[in-house]
């Protein structure tokens, strides 16, 4: 009896459920994105009667070679053979299971998160972050090679009790793509728990403008909640990027400030200055826009603390001896010499295409107003913008304006995170 007792004890020790870290570090983790059922094989014919809620962790031990139609026959995914932390095995259809991505496919800006320990709160004090994805196809055609790929990518946070929460950070479908381009983990709300500050870029099929947005997710009572979202795109016209490209966002202690030069149709110009309208296709008026959000702990979200402010944009001339032009034309009458120290109000951007020899280029002027009240035009590359975070970007644009704005881009960062307080949340 003593020997039998010892054998039972050893077997019980062997059958202890696997912990989350073991499954994740084995590169075989999967988590449910919504409630799923467990089946005996890779068909819907033999359910086990067991179901699992979203956020359940599995070890992925196998998968089908082929992809199969979902219930609605709109998409196709693989089946995955899984094992629960308690040792049960079965099959789950791939539309509800995000599976850990291969190591070499993890983007550079996520490598310092992937399979690393972090501490949050409410049961996630000892959590592991990892990257997972759903991969399949849209089922538009009988021949699979004609069907476009479909994918969703997730940042997953799993606690020591094998429970996961997740953030959608990328994807691919017939309409276009979206992808996480930057991720920061820091305490923006001041509650002592780190928040996920994410920048996501998307591109729609048939559109030339690349869309960006800033999203902040926060742990609230053991769940991830989106607490802020702001589109960063600035446009000049239909599907044309603004010379300023994107809004500048500054995140500091519980405050988010947004600022940007706005290129708007002159009929919507809100300042009192004369815009000297010529042709709406050739010009845009400029205003400097700012607004601020503050974290509201009671509502668990950021709230605007005042209406957007619209003010004139200021600039100074780069060279001594410049004069105003009566019209946006180098051969126009010159009538007002400019003081090099004076703040000029930039009212309007005016452009037209020109040809020198066989080379096309863009001639760009600003309509400005001097402190004495006189208005006139000046070549745009002769001015330096004042008091805007976009000054260097705009100086680069106007030094050689592109003939096609869709080609205008920059590697500049438009999101700044400043002096956030130290947090008790740590990366282990």
Q: Give the pLDDT confidence of 312-328 residue by residue, as tens digits.
A: 999 999 999 999 999 99
Please give the Cα distance from 32 to 156 (Å, whole number).
Answer: 10
At residue 10, the pLDDT reads: 28
Average pLDDT of the segment spanning 198-227: 90
Calculate mean pLDDT across residues 74-88: 91
Q: Quick check: 51 pLDDT over 80?
A: yes
Residue 70 pLDDT greater than 90, yes or no: no
Write the pLDDT tens digit of every residue in 285-294. Answer: 999 999 999 9
**Is 282's pLDDT higher than 60?**
yes
Confidence band for 146, pLDDT divided at 50, 70 and 90: confident
The answer, yes or no, to whether residue 2 has pLDDT greater than 60, is: no
**pLDDT band for position 421 (cuts 50, 70, 90):** low
Angle at alpha carbon of residue 158, lines to 150 and 14, rounded to 5°: 110
Residue 13 clears pLDDT 60, i.e. is over it: no
92-96, 134-138, 354-358, 423-427: least confidently modelled range? 423-427
Please give the pLDDT value at position 71: 78
329-345: average pLDDT:
91
14 band by pLDDT with thresholds 50, 70 and 90: very low
Q: What is the mean pLDDT of residues 380-406?
A: 92
pLDDT for residue 18 = 59
Mean pLDDT taken over the chain: 89
Work out the pLDDT band at 21, boundaries 50, 70, 90: confident
State the pTM of this model.
0.88
User: Secondary structure of the chain in the HEC alphabet?
Assistant: CHHHHHHHHHHHHHCCCCCHHHHHHCCCEEEECCCEEEECCCCCCCEEEEEECCCEEEEEEEECCCCEECCCCCEEECEEEEECCCCCEEEEECCCEEEECCHHHCCHHHCCCCCEEECCCCCCCCEEEEEEEEEEEECCCCCHHHCCEEEEEEEEEECCCCEEEEEEEEEEECCEEEEEEEEEEECCCCCCCCEEEEEEEEEECCCCCCEEEEEEEEEECCEEEEEEEEECEEEEECCEEEEEEECEEEEECCEEEEEEEEEECHHHCCCCCCCCCCCCCCEEEEEEEEEEEEEECCCCEEEECCCCEEECEEEEECCCCCEEECCCCCCCCEEEECCCCCCEEEEEEEEEEEEECCEEEEEEEEEEECCCCCEEEEEHHHEEEECCCCHHHHHHHHHCCCCCHHHCCCCCCCEEECCCCCCCCCEC
The stretch 82-102 carries a mean pLDDT of 93
pLDDT of 12 reads 28
pLDDT tens track for 221-274? 888 999 999 999 999 987 899 999 999 999 998 999 999 999 999 999 999 999
Could you read off the pLDDT of 296-307 as tens digits, one per residue?
998 889 999 988
């Amino acid at each position: 009896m003593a020997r039998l007792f010892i054998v039972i004890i050893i077997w019980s020790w062997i059958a202890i459920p696997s912990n989350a870290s073991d499954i994740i570090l084995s590169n075989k983790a999967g988590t449910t994105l919504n409630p799923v059922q467990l089946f005996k094989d890779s068909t819907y014919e033999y359910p086990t009667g067991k179901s699992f809620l979203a956020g359940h962790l599995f070890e992925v031990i196998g998968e089908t070679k082929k992809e199969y139609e979902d219930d609605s026959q709109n998409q196709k995914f693989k089946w995955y053979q899984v094992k629960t932390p308690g040792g049960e095995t079965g099959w789950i259809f791939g539309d509800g299971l995000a599976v850990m991505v291969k190591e070499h496919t993890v983007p550079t800006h996520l490598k310092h998160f992937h399979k690393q320990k972090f501490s949050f709160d409410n049961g996630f004090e000892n959590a592991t972050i990892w990257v997972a994805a759903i991969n399949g196809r849209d089922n538009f055609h009988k021949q699979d090679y004609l069907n476009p790929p479909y994918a969703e990518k997730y940042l997953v946070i799993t606690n020591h009790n094998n429970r996961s929460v997740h953030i959608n950070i990328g994807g691919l479908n017939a309409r276009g793509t979206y992808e996480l381009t930057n991720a920061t983990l820091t305490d923006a709300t001041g509650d002592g728990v780190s928040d996920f500050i994410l920048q996501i870029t998307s591109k729609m099929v048939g559109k030339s403008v690349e869309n960006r947005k800033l999203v902040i997710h926060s742990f609230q009572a053991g769940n991830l909640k989106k607490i802020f979202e702001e589109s960063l795109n600035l446009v000049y016209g239909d599907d044309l990027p603004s010379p300023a490209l994107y809004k500048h966002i500054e995140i500091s202690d519980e405050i988010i400030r947004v600022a940007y030069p706005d290129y708007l149709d002159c009929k919507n110009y809100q300042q009192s200055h004369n815009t000297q309208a010529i042709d709406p296709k050739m010009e845009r008026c400029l205003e400097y826009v700012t607004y601020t959000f503050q974290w509201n702990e009671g509502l668990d979200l950021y709230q605007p603390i005042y209406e957007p402010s619209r003010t004139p944009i200021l600039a100074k001339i780069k060279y001594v001896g410049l004069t105003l032009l009566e019209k946006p034309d180098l051969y126009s009458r010159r009538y007002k010499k400019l003081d090099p120290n004076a703040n000029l109000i930039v009212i309007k951007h005016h452009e037209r295409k020109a040809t020198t020899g066989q080379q096309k280029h863009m001639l760009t002027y600003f309509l400005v107003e001097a402190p004495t009240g006189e208005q006139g035009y000046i070549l745009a590359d002769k001015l330096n913008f004042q008091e805007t975070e976009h000054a260097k970007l705009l100086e680069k644009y106007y030094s050689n304006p592109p003939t096609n704005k869709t080609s205008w881009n920059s590697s500049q960062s438009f999101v700044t995170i400043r002096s956030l307080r130290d947090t008790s949340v740590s990366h282990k």
